[in-house]
Structure 1
Amino acid sequence: MEFDISWILLGLPLAFALGWLASRFDARQMRAYNRSAPKAYFKGLNFLLNEQQDKAIDAFIEAVQNDPDTSELHFALGNLFRRRGEYNRAVRVHEHLLSRGDLNRTDRNRAQHALALDFLKAGLLDRAEDALRRLEGTSYEAEARLALLAIYERSRDWKQASEIAQRMQAAGQGDFSARLAHYLCEQGDVQATNGQLEQAQVAYQQALQLAPGAARAHIDLARLQHRMGQHQQAWSTLQALAHNSPSALPLAAALLPDIAKALGNMQEIQRWLEDQYRQTPSLDLLQALVTLDADSGQADAPGRERYIQHLGKEPSLVAATRWLASETLHDEQHHPSIQRALEHASKPLTRYRCAACGFEARQHFWHCPGCQSWDSYPARRVEEL
């Protein structure tokens, strides 16, 4: 059978015509697409870069309406709502994404994580907890556990916090032994307040086993032992504190005179405390020594002269104010007003300051109430920093 070349000649114009029609159709589709979502998307992006968030939101809403199946536009819109504090609208956007049956697993996990952040920012901790729990086994698992840990610490649910911290440590997300020791001490504090002294003692001892260098566990245990009449054990615990965490000893200094009186060995504890003070001078250690001097009843006790010796080492308005409190002035009638002025000026210097956020407080905190950081308060007061 002979091949007729005329069929090729007839087919070429037909193929050209079909190709031209297809290209025209694609061009129309591209123009229609550019007129809808991408144009609005880039307009919204431009507004966002120019910090015009209201106009950016309007542009993204227009883009979503033109192309409701585009998940990226929903994520951009939801994040914008969250940044503006419009948490209800952000929640609706991310819940709409989760309700879509065509969403792939990666985008579904991303939407679940975004929804959890919406609830966190809105302060809806119970709903945030539920949303974060759903992220177990996903690529957002580590972030979700950190957020859950923050929720449990904020709500003071120390058992749940311990469970999450243990799982994070087992997963290799870091060493949480010091934080777990804090959780045990928190539980021990509650038990001690409720009169459950034996249970509290067990909690503090478990904290020490978990983190032998934990200053708080030593201090809380020594305070409880002294309260339970175990004065010798309390003295041994404070000696262990000085060995493991000498910088934290000032936080327990006020306890030492009471323990010394209970044991009847003031001179031994005084000599030990003087050695600690020589190594690291501190206002709290100084005050404990002055108290021991007063309690000793010895005629030649240094007493308030220690303030003068301290001033020779370090300039201190607090020490000068305390020394002046019982001094006799030439114009004694002016003493009360001068003393009040000095106490007013030195009062802010006796506070403790968080090294992470700068939050100041009259008492020492292990968990900063400002930034929620652990162990961010130095044991020394503002004047000594």
Structure 2
Amino acid sequence: MEFDLSWILLGLPLAFLLGWLASRLDLRQLRFENRRVPKAYFKGLNFLLNEQQDQAIDAFIEAVQSDPDTSELHFALGNLFRRRGEYDRAVRVHEHLLSRGDLGQVDRERAQHALALDFLKAGLLDRAEEALARLEATPFEAQARLALLAIYERSRDWPNAAAITQKMHAAQQGDFSTRQAHYLCEQALALIAQGDLITAETRLAQAAAVAPHAARPRIELAKLQQQQGQSGAAVATLLAMNAATPTALPLATALLVQAGQAAGQTAPVMQALQQHYHASPSLDVLEGIVALEAAGTALPGAGREWYVRHLETEPSLVAAAKWLATEKLEHEEFHPQVQRALDRASAPLTRYRCAACGFEARQHFWQCPGCQTWDSYPARRVEEL
């Protein structure tokens, strides 16, 4: 059979025409899709800027359905779900991203971080801890460690909290020595409650060594020593604390007075209190001085002149109420009512106030029960701030 070249000559232009038509159709489809996705995306962005989150979510869902492979749209959608409190939907979005085999390493780490935030916001601390642990050796490592630290503090897991702060300290993410001392003190208090006083004392000594200028380890150690009948050791511990951190002496004054009287060392205790008071007048230190003078003499009202001296330089309602408590008035029959009114008016002034959130409490806290901030309570009461 003889081959006819005319068919080839006719077929080549036809094949070229068909290919050209196919390419035009593909280009039109691509242009259509490229126009459609940005339109939905910018529509969602516009809703988001106008704080119309419901409409923004609908627009982003439309954009994701148009192009399921667009990771940025998934991130935007997941963040919107988290902000609205729809944590289960945010988790599904970020888990879908992590399940994709074509996701790059940078986006995979970003999705892992977003998933950890979803669990954290939802209060699923176990799953958040697991997700955050996977962010070690990634650009999100520092943020993950801070989040893990918050989880361990909330759950009072002090050993793991200490381990995290050691890593952060080694990585030069800050000085966490004072916080490590707090963790050791918390462990010591738990051991004291269990009756293991020897190990508790070891923990407190470690805390004092980790943070020499932190007041809490020595105050807790002095409490333990006083509890064991070692009043002389308690006095020495508190005087050493006063030398290292004199601003914290008001917090330890009552314990120092008690230990000094039990150990027969009222003279050095009085000297330390008076030196501190003259340098920085304080209501708690004033109370300690009055208590020591009253205990050292049988004279009625001994030491109460300190209240008058205090009022000469400090207009203190608390000191005035304490002075008036045992004072004889011209109309003595009205004294109880007047005293009750003064005590009620001065009571809020004797509280401690958190410098971070303003939470007030009758007792001093090392960690604010309101905002969970460490060392946010000054050693002075509200009236003295």
Q: How does 1:334-345 map to 2 (within 5 A)?
A: 334-345=334-345
In structure 2, what is the equivalent of residue 146 of structure 1?
146
Alignment check: 8 A CA contact 1:352 1:362 kept: yes
Which residue number corresponds to residue 269 of structure 1?
A: 269
Match of 1:39 in 2: 39
Q: Distance in 2 between matches of 1:302 and 1:142?
A: 58
Cα contact 2:44–2:57 (8 A) shared by 1: yes
The 1:16/1:309 distance shift into structure 2, 3 A limit, reads: farther
SS in 2 for 1:343: helix
Alignment correspondent of 2:202: 202
- Which letter maps to 1:318? V
Residue matched to 1:319: 319
Count of aligned pairs: 373
Distance of 2:348 and 2:20 partners within structure 1: 84
Residue 260 of structure 1: aligned partner: 260
Q: What 5-or-longer segments of structure 1 have no aligned partner? A: 1-10
Note the C-alpha offset of 1:19: 7.3
Work out the CA distance in 2 between the residues paired with 1:49 and 1:239: 59
Structure 2 match to 1:5: none
Matched with 1:60 is 60
**TM-score, scaled to structure 2:** 0.92
What corresponds to 1:162 in structure 2?
162
Shift of 1:301: 7.3
Q: Are positions 1:29 and 2:30 aligned together?
A: yes
Whole-Å separation in 1 of the counterparts to 2:299 and 2:26: 108
Instruction: Output aligned runs, 1:1-385, within 5 Å.
Output: 22=23, 25-35=26-36, 37-299=37-299, 302-385=302-385
Give me the whole-angstrom Cα distance separating, in 1, the residues matched to 2:270 and 2:340.
31
Q: What is the alpha-carbon distance in structure 2 between the residues aligned to residue 269 and residue 21 of structure 1?
A: 97
After the TM superposition, which of the residue ranges 307-316 and 255-264 deviates more from structure 2?
255-264
Question: How far apart in 2 are the matches of 1:278 and 1:87?
Answer: 57
In the alignment, the residues of structure 1 paired with residue 313 and residue 334 of structure 2 have an alpha-carbon distance, to the nearest angstrom, of: 29
Deviation at 1:268, TM superposition (A): 3.4
Judge conservation of contact 1:113–1:135 (CA < 8 Å) in 2. Answer: yes
Q: How far, CA to CA, are the matches of 1:78 and 1:351 in structure 2?
A: 44
> Could you tell me how far 1:371 is from its partner in structure 2?
1.6
Task: State the distance in 2 between where 1:283 and 1:168 align.
Answer: 39
Q: In 1, are the aligned partners of 2:98 and 2:108 still within 8 Å (CA)?
A: yes
- 1:57–1:77 Cα contact (<8 Å) kept: yes
Once the 2 structures are TM-superposed, how far is the Cα of residue 100 of structure 1 from its aligned partner? Answer: 1.5
Give the letter aligned to residue 333 of structure 2.
Q
Quote the Cα distance in structure 1 between the aligned partners of 2:42 and 2:18. 36
**Distance in 1 separating the partners of 2:114 and 2:242:** 47
The aligned counterpart of 1:6 is none
CA deviation map 1:15-44 (0-9, x unaligned): 999879856742442123212x21111100
Task: Determine helix, strand or coil for the equivalent of 1:254.
Answer: helix
Percent identity between matched residues is 63
Q: Give SS of 2:60's match.
A: helix
CA contact (8 A) 1:293 1:301 kept: no
Q: Which runs of 5+ in 2 are unaligned?
A: 1-11
* Whole-Å separation in 2 of the counterparts to 1:377 and 1:57: 43
Between 63-72 and 259-268, report the one with greater CA deviation: 259-268
Answer yes or no: is the 8 Å Cα contact 2:294–2:302 preserved in 1: no
Deviations 1:268-296 (A, max 9, x none): 32233111211111000011111112211
Look up the equivalent residue of 2:328 and give its one-letter code. Answer: T
In 1, the alpha carbon distance for the partners of 2:85 and 2:188 equals 39
**1:249, 1:19 → 2: CA distance?**
89
Letter in 2 for 1:144: A
CA distance in 1, matches of 2:76, 2:269: 65
Question: Quick one: distance in 1 between partners of 2:319 and 2:356?
Answer: 27
How far off its partner does 1:225 sit?
1.2
CA apart distance, 1:136: 1.3
CA contact (8 A) 2:40 2:62 kept: yes
Q: CA deviation at 1:101?
A: 1.6
Within 2, Cα distance between the matches of 1:32 and 1:204?
A: 67
Name the Cα RMSD after superposition.
2.1
